[in-house]
């Protein structure tokens, strides 16, 4: 069983400027989600970071919310949290595969995401993995996001906007002559 194995854990990264993360959680199984969030918050705070928290209906909505925030808000990284427990239908496979794939694609676009969406066979597995004092998968997801933020800051270039930038005279025309 993986819980009895010893795993190497990277040292917590340090930051000159505190990172700001968005925790996106699907609280379908509220008690499990609460444990995941507790672990993520503790890890972010231990690294000197700050966080906001939003809830979405289910695991499939987690990457959509992260994608929106990645495009429209000012977060350094994201923590995806939730739990999918196998049921009687193939819906489990769809939710697990599609949420994971979407998070991976966002990461490949530059979003620093720690994926803490549990995909388990039963409630007992979920509880063991979510418990902040146990396997602490929420804390592990936050740690992953923090490590990616540290890498992006180490290797990062200044972010440039995509699209065109109007010339100064176009700005004057658009603002009625007054340049802002």
Contacts (Cβ under 8 Å, ≥6 apart) of 73 = 22
99: tokens are 């949420």
Q: Round to whole Å and give the CA distance between 55 and 53.
A: 7
- 4 belongs to a structural domain: no
From the list 7, 51, 91, 147, the catalytic residue is 91
* DSSP reduced 3-state for 167: coil
- Asked if residue 6 belongs to a domain, the reply is no
Assess if residue 165 is contained within a domain: yes
Q: Note if 91 is an active site residue.
A: yes
| pLDDT value for 5 | 77
Q: Single out the residue of 29, 9, 5 nearest to residue 118, CA to CA.
A: 29
Residue 45 is encoded by which pair of tokens?
Answer: 């705070």
**Is 3 contained in some domain?**
no
Q: Which domain holds residue 73?
A: 17-174
- pLDDT band, very low/low/confident/very high, at 180 (cuts 50, 70, 90): very low
Output the CA–CA distances (angstroms, integers) from residue 162 to 17, 27, 109, 113, in the order listed. Answer: 26, 35, 13, 22
Q: Is the pLDDT of residue 51 over 80?
A: yes
Q: How confident is the model at residue 179 (pLDDT cuts 50, 70, 90)?
A: very low
pTM comes to: 0.85
Q: Is the residue at 8 inside a domain?
A: no
9 domain-assigned = no
Task: Supply the CATH number for residue 94's domain.
Answer: 3.40.50.960
* Residue 172 pLDDT level (bands cut at 50, 70, 90): low
Count: domains in the chain: 1
- pLDDT (tens digit per residue) in 117-157: 999 999 999 999 999 999 999 999 999 999 999 999 999 86
Flag whether 136 is in a domain: yes
* Residue 124 lies inside a defined structural domain of this protein: yes
């Amino acid at each position: 069983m993986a819980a009895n194995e010893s795993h190497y854990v990277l040292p917590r990264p340090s930051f000159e400027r505190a990172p700001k993360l968005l925790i996106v959680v699907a609280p379908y199984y509220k008690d499990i989600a609460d444990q995941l969030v507790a672990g993520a918050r503790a890890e972010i705070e231990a690294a000197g970071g700050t966080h906001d928290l939003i809830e979405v209906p289910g695991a499939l909505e987690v990457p959509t919310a992260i994608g929106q925030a990645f495009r429209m808000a000012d977060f350094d990284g994201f923590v995806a949290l939730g739990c999918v427990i196998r049921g009687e239908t193939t819906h489990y496979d769809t939710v697990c595969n599609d949420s994971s794939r979407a998070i991976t694609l966002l990461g490949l676009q530059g979003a620093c995401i720690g994926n803490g969406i549990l995909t388990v066979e039963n409630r007992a597995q979920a509880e063991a993995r979510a418990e902040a004092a146990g396997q602490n998968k929420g804390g592990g997801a936050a740690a992953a996001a923090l490590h990616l933020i540290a890498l992006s800051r180490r290797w990062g270039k200044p972010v440039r906007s995509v699209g065109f930038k109007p010339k100064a005279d176009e700005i004057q025309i658009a603002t009625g002559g007054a340049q802002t």
